[in-house]
Structure 1
Amino acid sequence: MQALSGKILIVDDDPIQRRLLQEAVKKFGYRSKTAENGAEAVRIMSSPEASEIDLIILDMVMPELDGLGVLERLRSDKNATPVIVQTAHGGIDTVVNVMNAGAQDFVVKPVAPERLNVSIRNLLKTSALEGEITRIRKQASGTLTFADIITHSPAMERVINLGKRAAASNIPILIEGESGVGKEMIASAIQGSSDRKSKPLVTVNCGAIPDNLVESILFGHEKGAFTGAVDKHVGKFQEAHGGTLFLDEVGELPQEVQVKLLRALQESEIDPIGARRPVKVDFRLISATNRRLIDQVKEGVFREDLYYRLNVFPIWIPPLRDRREDIPALTRHFLARFAAEEGKPQVAGVTADTLAMLQEYHWPGNIRQLENAVFRAVVLCDGPQLTINDFPQVAAATEQTASPGATLQPQAQMAYPDRLSGGDLAAAPVRPSEPSVPPHHTPSAPAPQAGFEQAAPFGFMRNLDQDGHVRKLTDIEEELIRAAINHYSGRMTEVAKRLGIGRSTLYRKLKEYGLDESGKDAAA
């Protein structure tokens, strides 16, 4: 799989120069598109294809429309794509004119490849950081739009088109998708693209609220309504009055709260705990879930009438493994942010083979997992670009995917020697059914004990103990629970769901094994 980072538009009327720049750009690890003159460049940047262009290399002297003319057209169209101008004359007047017209950098022909590569890397990094800051500010102010979402995927384009249609009405929306795919980002874009964009977007994670507090937090309570209610509390529905209420993991709501939510949707009014009369509320509801609500309806844990009220306009967000073409752009944006936060401005790019590896990996934790992996890689990186060595866990996981019997890379073992027993699965799934010992070892002919003392490859669990015998089910279950708690950062609802058990069962097993909610020994 070709995995080049970024797409660069090369604008030059000289075919030989275009070809040389194409080869240089490809060698640097980027994709390219060419335009024979300024008019063609303006046409490309005025079309839907402009969303794929990350940077422009623009010749200064061209017939019909020259470089300055192209810059003026781009900036008048509010197009902020970074531009490197090529010129045969590096006089001070030329430089001033170019920079005033909106170029970010200039190079004098013939340009040295190293100089061009540094300029491209720095501009792409700066552009990504500016874009990330803009998105964060817009999301905080409720003005994020679909244009701010990073994607080059046809599957996500369909999601965005649905979201735009939904934003134009007041229809209840149900966003479905795995954990970490960006459900809250889509909800923010719907809010920021609607006529409620100047009003609040109130987000509630229903799975993170204790059952005994859900009703109070959502609907509010009056002073003295129950023991401990020393003050009046305004609920999330009232906070969202005039704006949008986003209920994340709505499938986790208790049955009694589901009844009150149904009434709020039907009557546009709520009953705060202890209130004498209902309170009218004007809100737009967006719900999200990482589980199939229809399955929960069949299981009897979610009300069927509420399901049909929420599922008026469903939007399903595909997992990252189904839109791998988004990985290079997402990686670059996360890199720009974390390099700035960690004070490592020298880290300015990602090598092509590293991007190929990231696109090969299946990302069970989706965009959230990719974000964390890039964060860790930036911390590990000592060079100007992220390399495969900076993603030891992903490298190990992709090796195992390619060859189940393969052993871990030595560098990965050195980087995370204490994480290879299955305790930290931030980058790979547990696959207990696949033996981590070589195929020729069997219980009837146990290998030397030293072989069983070695740590299992990352993402695997051992079937055999140190003596070569099959491990007890209780030991494997305890290890798997520890791994799941670590992998899902202590989110017990998610842990229970992924293990296929109820939360009450999970807590009972924690008690049986003497574990706390961090997966560690409770007595420790």
Structure 2
Amino acid sequence: MTTSPHRILIVDDEESMREFLGIMLSREGYDVESAQDGGQGIDMLRRGNFDLVITDIQMPRVDGFGVLKHVLEHLPETIVIMITAFSSTEQAVEAMKLGAYDYITKPFKNDEIRLIVKNALERRELRRENRQLRRELQDRYSFHNLIGKSKAMRVVYDLVEKVAGSRVNVLITGESGTGKEMVARAIHFSSDRAGEAFVPINCGAIPENLLESELFGHEKGSFTGAVQRKEGLFEVAAGGTLFLDEIGELPPMMQVKLLRVLQDREIRRVGGTKNISVDVRIIAATNKDLESEVAEGRFREDLFYRLNVIRIDLPPLRQRREDIPLLINHFFEKYTGRPMPQIDDTAMRHLLDYAWPGNIRELENVVERCTVLGTADGPLTCDALPEQMLNAGRGRSESLTDIPENGLDLERYLADIEKEILLKALDRTGGVRKKAAELLGISFRSMRYRLAKFGLGEDDETAGDE
């Protein structure tokens, strides 16, 4: 398929300049037209679609600022480059503050113009692709696309819906693979920032000596290899959301610098001397127990409280087993475009009873495997399931001491078991805490303490059972 050449409009009251730019850019393969002043240029912009406008600043009737204003108000996908004399660069800088992409000064070099035009058109394509991607992501990651009907997930949905309309910082906690980034995206794309960037970064995946530059940017020459100025992710996410995944891995020095940014809403590039204001919403996530990290001195308490304004705890998959069939169906549709096939009873029992140490991420991998190994004309059987799932036994009680290949968080794992036993005891006793305590062989006082520890305190049904 042949791609149409980019259309460029040159607006200049000097005929020689229009001819020079027209010939040079036409030789580069662009479709070039010209206007002799700003008024004619605006008329041509109203009649045709142009990817790029190169306009002189000083012109009779309507100057370059008038052309720039028209483009900014009516043609958001069109890029503007200003032409100015060397003595009038202050005006060009002012035009860039208003929204022009760049400026060139007379007299200029041909290679300079070619490079600026090439970079400007690449920026336009990137912006257009980003807008399209954001529209697709908004449809894909909206609040209504979170999957699950369990009580634990309904609590998550309620919190997502409440915090999406605010600008407070959010901390998402949960084991690896529970969908923390999916929830962060749901918050962003359900908020008034949905039209701006969602920028994720894994704080544990970037070397410490590069992390500051990645977050805050750097100036040209600020260190070896800094051959040009670079915007950090805080600037890239301006107006949108910055998702700090694995925030518990942030080195101590970066914790201090992040705290200052959250307090002042300003950054300073590495090697820079000026503070830059940033309007960014922060959503952080971790699979660590940050309270324990604070108590052990590995995470700053003041930063924890800055991040932990609203907290969303994602349950592990083993605590929301009723959602497993829904998730299986979702992933089958994702990989095959068809609903989940029939699954025989034994295979389904393995899927429901498995402990899922890798949570939703592991489930997705298993479903992808099943789409390859399962038969197209019959029910899904155990033959398509991985060996470790079949060997894990039919009940979680048979594999309590199994350790996944990638290890586990012992404290969180034991806490999950304790919480699940408490909930099952309450369920068996109809929510009567005193009877649940007797069932578990602990005192009522101990029962109250354990329930409070997991946020399972009194409600209308259990408040009077003392």
Please classify the TM superposition score into its range, dividing by the shorter chain length: 0.5 to 0.7
Aligned with 1:397 (options 391, 397, 403): 391
In structure 2, C-alpha distance between the alignment counterparts of 1:141 and 1:227, rounded to whole Å: 39
1:209 aligns with 2:202: no
Once the two structures are superposed, residues 36-72 of structure 1 have per-residue CA deviations (whole angstroms, 9 ceiling, x without a partner) of xxxxxxxxxxxxxxxxxxxxxxxxxxxxxxxxxxxxx
- Relative distance call for 1:390 and 1:154 in structure 2 (3 A) is same
1:191 aligns with 2:198: no
Q: Which amino acid aligns with 2:393?
A: E
Report the TM-score, using the length of structure 1 for normalisation. 0.50
Q: List runs of 5+ in structure 2 lacking aligned partners.
A: 1-132, 412-466
Q: Which residue of structure 2 aligns with residue 336 of structure 1?
A: 333
1:242 aligns with 2:235: no
1:154 aligns with 2:151: yes
Q: Which residue of structure 2 aligns with residue 431 of structure 1?
A: 402
> In structure 2, the residue corresponding to 1:194 is in which secondary structure?
coil
- Relative distance call for 1:337 and 1:429 in structure 2 (3 A) is farther
1:355 aligns with 2:352: no
5 Å matches for 1:91-490? 140-141=137-138, 144-340=141-337, 348-384=341-377, 385-399=379-393, 401=395, 431=402, 483-484=405-406
- Relative distance call for 1:138 and 1:320 in structure 2 (3 A) is farther
> In structure 2, the residue corresponding to 1:329 is in which secondary structure?
helix
Task: Report if aligned partners of 2:329, 2:340 keep a CA contact under 8 Å in 1.
Answer: no
In structure 2, C-alpha distance between the alignment counterparts of 1:330 and 1:194, rounded to whole Å: 25
Q: Which amino acid aligns with 1:160?
A: Y
Report the TM-score, using the length of structure 2 for normalisation. 0.56
**Deviation of residue 182 (structure 1)?**
0.7
> In structure 2, the residue corresponding to 1:187 is in which secondary structure?
helix
Task: Report if aligned partners of 2:214, 2:233 keep a CA contact under 8 Å in 1.
Answer: yes
- Number of matched residues? 278
**Deviation of residue 256 (structure 1)?**
0.9
Q: Which amino acid aligns with 2:203?
A: C
Larger radius of gyration: 2
**Deviation of residue 401 (structure 1)?**
4.9
Task: Report if aligned partners of 1:332, 1:349 keep a CA contact under 8 Å in 2.
Answer: no
In structure 2, C-alpha distance between the alignment counterparts of 1:389 and 1:308, rounded to whole Å: 49
> In structure 1, the residue corresponding to 2:230 is in which secondary structure?
coil
Q: Which amino acid aligns with 2:402?
A: R
Task: Report if aligned partners of 1:142, 1:200 keep a CA contact under 8 Å in 2.
Answer: no
Task: Report if aligned partners of 2:349, 2:394 keep a CA contact under 8 Å in 1.
Answer: no
In structure 1, C-alpha distance between the alignment counterparts of 2:202 and 2:160, rounded to whole Å: 21
Once the two structures are superposed, residues 111-132 of structure 1 have per-residue CA deviations (whole angstroms, 9 ceiling, x without a partner) of xxxxxxxxxxxxxxxxxxxxxx
Task: Report if aligned partners of 1:222, 1:232 keep a CA contact under 8 Å in 2.
Answer: yes
In structure 1, C-alpha distance between the alignment counterparts of 2:140 and 2:212, rounded to whole Å: 29
- Deviating runs (4+, > 4 A) in structure 1? 136-139, 400-404, 497-500
In structure 2, C-alpha distance between the alignment counterparts of 1:305 and 1:347, rounded to whole Å: 47
> In structure 2, the residue corresponding to 1:357 is in which secondary structure?
helix
**Deviation of residue 349 (structure 1)?**
3.9
Once the two structures are superposed, residues 155-186 of structure 1 have per-residue CA deviations (whole angstroms, 9 ceiling, x without a partner) of 10111101111111111100000000111111
Q: List runs of 5+ in structure 1 lacking aligned partners.
A: 1-135, 405-427, 433-458, 460-482, 485-494, 501-524
- Relative distance call for 1:143 and 1:208 in structure 2 (3 A) is same
**Deviation of residue 208 (structure 1)?**
0.9
Once the two structures are superposed, residues 366-404 of structure 1 have per-residue CA deviations (whole angstroms, 9 ceiling, x without a partner) of 000000011112211124332222114254233275795
In structure 2, C-alpha distance between the alignment counterparts of 1:208 and 1:498, rounded to whole Å: 19
